[in-house]
Each structure stands twice: as structure tokens, then as C-alpha cells.
Structure 1
Amino acid sequence: MVRSEEQWLEVVDCFGDAAVTGCGWYYALERLAQATGSEYGQLIGLGAEPAVPFNVWTVDPIIPKEFEELGYGDPDLNPRVRAGTGIPELAVRAEVDFITPEQARHHPHYKWARHHGIGYICLTPLIARPDMLIGISVCRRQETGHITSAQRNVFASLAAHARAAVRTQLLLEGDAGGLLVGAMEAMSLTAFACNAAGHVIAMTPSAERLVLSGHYLKLRKQVLSTELDKDNSPLTDAVLAAAGGLSRPGAPLLRSLFVHSASAAGPLIVDIVSLPQKAFTFGFRPQVLVIVRGLNHGDKQLVGALRAGFKLTAAEAEVALQLADGQGPQTIAEERGVSINTVRTQVRNIYDKLGVSRQGELAARLRPLR
């Protein structure tokens, strides 16, 4: 329980730090729970889809997994979700506000919750939009009992700062998509930025013209699809695989496939690129680049893609492609007319930005580019 202004400010700062860094949400929720005399904190996102986009919960990891498997993001199955839906942002609710003890005793969700030691809750919606609800709560054991009036006031005061932190990270994630697309536009790339769900969140003007034409690619409910059915599954599978993020050691950085049109002579090449990610996002940060190009597999465009997606300098992108071709640092230095130390510094920067640790791993990830 918060006992001083310093403790209260510490929790506020935790949420601010989490928003800026994309890390630390778990710790901030722990501190929120402690500040309200509760055991657990939760930040959950609910959308139009049945699946829960994110659920950061300071409980045993089996609990969020079961929560999703049992469909408890559905307000028809979960009185807590129903209580947090359709009320104003920052309106606080606890069990005493929306369910009787007798109803809670027999309700399937509450039986499950008591089994896992989260018999009581205090919640509020932070962001409420037609297509998205982000809520925060503290959960309490049966032995701890209902949240008190004083603890509820602390929760309400801190929830306002949690909302500000969520809004900050949402803005930063949205800006990241715009900045990425701006960089790609400057390099004359036809490209789409997709989030962790595979939904297009930004595109360059040339990409927009392409989907409006109806040839090769289409955009339906923010999801890229192909003009011809035979090309659709490979594209969907590649985007969703890339949305899973990079792993070490892992899958290729990029997957390439052909996309055809019924009214055009030749196919286009579509490159699907996995981007490095922060520890936690709300799903609006770019995680996948989809780059469209013709049959001309030119290094200039590949260099542009690496620069846009991974913040490589032009020289680093060129060196990365040389490394992928199997050239050693000494050979690269001689060809480029620079010192071996310069190339070694560039190699270290490339490894760091692409999340690899040696040339073989880099070559494996970049090989599809070549």
C-alpha cells in the first residue's frame, strides 16, 4: 500500500519508463498491485477478433494461457470484461459494483478465478474505442478480500497515469510506422509496413497506387491479399511467419515469392522482411516490411530495403550484401578502398542492428536477398 508521496511518484515513473522504452510493463504492474495492497496487476487489450491481442499479467504464465483458451476475453463469458465494456475511460469498477456474491459463487469464470487465486478484481478501461479496448486491473486473493475504499482511490489515481503511458506508447508506435514508410518513400520503394497481427498500418504512395489498381495485390480489412487465389496462401503464410519476429539462431531475415496478375505479362517479386522488435508493443509498431519489386533484382533497391528496415547506413548495407556473398573483411576493405578497421567496425554495427553474431548467421539470413 502506498504510504508516501515518494512511493506514489515511483509507481508513476515506472509507467512512464515503460511507455518510452517498450519494456518494464510487467514491473510497473507489480508496483501498481503493491501500491493497492493487491497481489497481481494486469494490462489487457481486447479487439474485434476473438483472440486477445495482448495480456500482460503478473501471475503464473499458465493463467493467461488458460484465459485465452477458455475464451474469457468474451464479455458474454466473463463478467469482469463485461463490466469494463461500455463504461467511460477511467471509470473504476470492482465486484461489489457489478456482481452479487451469490452470482460470483456459481459463475464458471469466478470458479476458475478463485482456483487460481484471483477471486477479486478492481478494473478500469484506459482506452475505449469501437475497435479496441485496453484495460488495467489489480487482482486479489480470496484471503486478501475486496479492495478497500482507500486502496480504490490509489488505484484510480495511478490508473490515470497508466492511461497517459499507454497513450504515449501508442503514439510512439504509430510514429514508428510513419517514419519507416517515410524512409522507404524517400528511397522510391513500393512497400507496406505491417504490425504483429500482419495488418497493414502504413504504406508508401506507390504501394497505395498498386493496391488501388487491383493488379497483383489487394488490401482487404487491412490485410494484404493477392489478385490470383493461387498466390494468396504463400503470401499470408510468409507475412504471419515474419510477424513472429526474428530468432537467434533463426529463420531467414527475408522471404521472397512471386505474385502474378491476370492482366499483366510478368510476375512481381514480393519480399517479406522480419523487423527487430521491442520487448512489448500494443500491436501498432511495424514488425514486417513487405517490399514489392519487379524482376530486376538490383542491389540498389536491396540496399534501400536494408537501410529503411534496419537503420543501416548506405555503406553498412553494401558491406552486409558483400558478407552475404561470402566475402571476408579483408577482401571487402580492398574492394572498397578503405582500411580493414573501418570494415570491422561496419561489420560490428551490422551484426548489432540485424541481431546476429557471426558471418555465417548473417549470410543465412540474407541469402534469400541474393
Structure 2
Amino acid sequence: MHRVEADLGYHRFIGARIELDARRTLLVALYGSSLSEFDPQTDTLLADTLPHLAQSLTLGEDFSEMAQLQQLCGGALDAVAFGLVICTPEGMVRFANRAATKAMDGSHLLIAGDLLHVENRQDRVRLDQLLAGSSGPKTMTMRFGLGDRALDVVAFSDQKLAGARILLVSRPSALHSMSYDALCQIYGMTPAEAALATALATGQSIAEFAENRGVSISTVRTQMRQVLAKTGTKGQPDLVRQIWTSAIAACYRLTS
């Protein structure tokens, strides 16, 4: 090693070390053709510079870890069914998951660029009130628009996200479906029974389901008894409640 350094013209050096953590040490070496190139000022410069180099390394690693964590959290929030938006009190959007982007697309409350946007002055006033009034422990809810373009918003804040507002958004007109496979796996349903449970949970009646499937109501009622037995529920309202409070509902797929 000394011969290689000599061939490169590095005959003398001074060095320093600093512990980054319990497992890592930063070593710094300044090379020169002779020791006469180094003086006490060089020692001082090296001693003053070393902590800054160490801090730069650890900060870079911290930022990298933060970026990885942000990507991980964003991916996880994209997997959930409800729409979530994080914004400033002024309406600047910092994050919106996939469900929020889909629900707000074409709705009365939009994300235009990086800002929340409404179409008229009256709703602008309401949006400002929503964002201003949802500070601290207070939660506010509003509906923006009518018909197919309506969007329901629940706004609140959290002390862990200083200066931010958290918006949960949903499109009342959206059609939802659930995974038949998940219902089959959790409750041991057949595909036909899972289809019935999903239909009832998303608003269909037994008669509508029978008509859509081209089967008799008596057949559907038989399937219904099996569904209730397998889920341990007492009736249709209890079945719907159980499905929508389960983890399955958190991962339903928006179909429109």
C-alpha cells in the first residue's frame, strides 16, 4: 500500500478519525509530498472540518431514509380505499393518495396543480371555512356540489402534522365492489355466496340480485341463509355492518 501511494506521489499524510455511530468510523487522510507541507493550521483545519463531514454523511443518510419512508407510506396509503389528502390551511396539497385522486377527478372539488380548487366564490368561502375551522381537535364535514359531481369531505388536523389539514374524501355516486376471493377466504363462502354478500353490501336488494343473476329468489334466499350462517350474522343489516367494518372494506376496488 505504501509503495502504491509512493508511486502516486503520496509520500506523507496526516489523518483523523471520528466515530459516526457504534459500528462506523469516518477516517480522513490528507496526503502531501512531504511532512513540511503540513503545519499547525492544517491540523486545525482538519479538526474543524471533520465534524462537518460527519454531519453531512449522517444528514444525507437521514434524508435518504426519510425519502424511502415517504415512498413506503405513500404506497401503503394508495392501497386503502378511502381518499386521503394532506394540505396546508391555505389549500396547498402536499399529498393525495390514489383513491382521493380518483374520487376528486371530475368532482366539484378538484386538485388543480398543487391547490384545492372549487368553481365558484361561494364554495371558495366554504372551503376556506372548512380548512380554517378544522384546526385542533375540531372536525368539520362538508359536501361540495350536487349529483354525480358531489364530493363529501371530512377535515381535521393532528398535532403530529403541525400546520397541516387532513381531508378524507369520498364520492357518493361512486360504485364500489369488494374482492370475492377475500370473502371466500375469510368466511369460507362459495363464489356465488360471496357475490351475494358483495351485492347486498353495496346496496342491492335480494330481488335485484336475483334478477341480475338470472336465478330465482328462492335460490338466493337459500344462499342468504348460508351467508348468514358462515358470517355469524343475524340478518342483512348485521351482515352489511360486519363487512363494512372489516379490513376487507379498507381495500375495496373503485369500479367507477
TM-score (norm 2): 0.40
TM-score (norm 1): 0.29
